[in-house]
Amino acid sequence: MKKLINDPEHVVTEALAGMAEAHPGLRVDLENKVIFRRSAPSPGKVGLVSGGGSGHEPLHGGFVGYGMLDAACPGEVFTSPVPDQIIEATKGVDGGAGVLHIVKNYTGDVLNFEMAAELCAEEGVEVASVLVNDDVAVKDSLYTAGRRGTGATVFVEKIAGALAETGASLAEVAKTGEEVNARSRSFGVALSPCTVPAAGRPTFELGPSEVELGIGIHGEPGRTRAPIAPARELARVAMDAVHTDMPLSGDCLVMVNGMGGTPLAELYIVFAEVAAYLREKGATPARSLVGNYVTSLEMRGFSVTVCRLTDDLTRLWDAPVETPALRWGR
């Protein structure tokens, strides 16, 4: 196994130490493994907490900052954060207006966030939660009952985060987060597997000319395997899966996301195909992200996430944001 690490057991802590060095706007609690916005808690503002297994960077720690999350709880690689972490984060960002948990739909994540929310509630912190389950590829999977949560998490975090900055209530922020999730769908394609440092071997095998259609972000199986095909065809498979589940129309926010090991030029080629597909259906790629946002270590491949925008959601998407991985307009 060739990786830029010191010790497979300390990957998460050592990466957090690097984040703390690189981003003075963050306060990283290395002992509890929580990444805080330096200014947290913000009195009167709803606090936003997300988290999940590590190995998906920049998700979630790279989205902590003004206009997005107040804290993120990274679990071990591809492993849910523990309730103690989530409690630490929740209490640490409570500015009196309550805290929103943004949770990807994996059984471990859901259970641990729920447990933390209950314990925080007992201590007087009001907690609401948004469950993200945008991946249309499969229903029920290796780590999930129901659909998996993937790329739409970035949209929910950004848009709910922008609304929270305006002083909106916990109920309003939660409702908008749910709306973003409800209007979003994703589908992923893998060209290669990835290797969890502590395991030391690839999570699955793919033949030299094979791709996995509908891959999950931990390498969970998708719908089927197929021979490698032109980007145009792979993009069409992904977009057909999205469009079948949620007919595309109007202004769309589109993310073409790398899995960690995909050259940026390839993502732009896929994005051009996705944009053409949207126009063909009468929809418009009005806003976009192209790059590595929800990764699976060094996996090669892409996922596409589409959110059907409303005027309000567009305004919130465009609002200023200042995090390590997403930054504009301030």
Mask for 103-122, x = binds its own copies (CB under 8 A): --------------------
Site string for its own copies, 220-239 (x = CB under 8 A): --------x-xxx-x-----
3-class secondary structure, 11: helix
Give the integer Cα–Cα distance in Å for 4 and 76: 17
Please name every residue paired with 101 in a beta bridge, in sequence order, or none if there are none.
Answer: 49, 129
Active site residues: 56, 218
- How long a stretch of residues is the chain? 330
Nearest CB to its own copies, comparing residues 114 and 210 = 210
Q: Is 29 in the site for its own copies (CB under 8 A)?
A: no
DSSP conformation letters of 178-217: HHHHHTEEEEEEESS--B-TTT-SBSS---TTEEEET--T
- For residues 59 to 88, the per-residue mask of contacts with its own copies, x marking binding by CB under 8 A and - elsewhere, is ---x--------------------------
Among 47, 52, 58, 65, binds its own copies (CB under 8 A): 58
Q: Do 285 and 278 form a contact (C-beta atoms < 8 A)?
A: yes
What is the H or E stretch that residue 259 is in? Answer: none
For 273, list phi and psi in degrees, rounded to 5.
-70, -40
Which residue lies nearer to its own copies by CB, 173 or 278? 278
Q: For 330, which DSSP code?
A: -
Six-digit token string for 162: 């922008």
Site for its own copies in 294-313 (CB under 8 A): 295, 297-298, 300-302
Structure tokens at 67: 């206009």
Binding site for its own copies (CB under 8 A): 2-7, 11-12, 14-19, 21-22, 54-55, 57-58, 62, 191-192, 208-209, 211, 228, 230-232, 234, 260-272, 275, 285, 288, 290, 292, 295, 297-298, 300-302, 322, 327-330
